[in-house]
Amino acid sequence: MSNSPSRSVIVTGASGGIGRAVAERLAADGMSVLVHYAGNPATAEEVVAGITASGGTATSFGGDVADETAMANLFEHATTIFGGIDVVVNAAGIMPLAPVATMDLETFDRVQRTNVRGTFVVSQLAARSVRAGGAIINFSTSVTRLQLPTYGAYAMSKGAVEALTLILARELRGKDVTVNVVAPGPTATPLFFEGKPQEVIDRIAGANPMERLGTPQDIAETTAFLAGPARWVNGQVIYTNGGAA
């Protein structure tokens, strides 16, 4: 299966970080891209402009991933503009960190709303919309295995994402739509660097055998594989972390 210009993708959280790299990578593969953003239309338009300048096709659309009406409007927009939806990559997420003993429950609820409910809302719409031969790709984290302190609420939310995604893969039997999870390790994004002193960043970067942080482009490569040629990979969690445990 080749990625022709007629194939289209929705990428949530595509205005920065991993989501932006995924949008740019899939556009380079010839896909028409809907660049979703939560709150910053200017950065989303930068992504669209970059894709367009490189000869690709892109549009932007805003909305809260946990709001079913906003996301229904987004899927309708993508269908209207592109004529259908072939791939959905749900890269939107938030990562406030605190020990379990001290995290306030308002922050906990916010993490679960965006990461769990948001993934469910987008996955539900994707399950109804993605055409045969397509793919649904959600995002987890290698922290579900690495068990790093202060990541409790975040890792908990991503464990739920994995469970949902792997069940959805089985529910879509006969639809010719693959459903997988990408679980990055520590990746050099603003979300990762926020609030971390340099010594902590250096320690985390040195924890895997490659002795560096991942880049958004590293994660985008795995995503592009699942979005395109990987038709026999289904119902899997792909740990993309340089060999971290």
How many C-beta atoms lie closer than 10 Å to residue 4's C-beta?
A: 10
Please state, in angstroms and rounded to a whole number, the distance separating the CA atoms of residues 10 and 80: 13
Stretch (H or E) spanning 233: none
CA angle 13/168/162 to nearest 5° reads: 60
Nearest partner of 234 among 176, 183, 157, judged by Cα: 176
Strand ranges inside 42-170, DSSP E: 58-62, 85-90, 130-139
Q: CA of 131: how far to CAs of 52, 84, 97, 110, 195, in Å?
A: 24, 7, 37, 32, 41
Q: Is 154 a catalytic residue?
A: yes
Instruction: Tell me if 208 sits within 8 A of 242, measured CB to CB.
Output: yes
137: phi then psi, degrees, rounded to nearest 5: -130, 115
| 119: three-class secondary structure by DSSP | helix
How many C-beta atoms lie closer than 10 Å to residue 147's C-beta?
A: 10
Query: Which positions are catalytic?
Result: 154
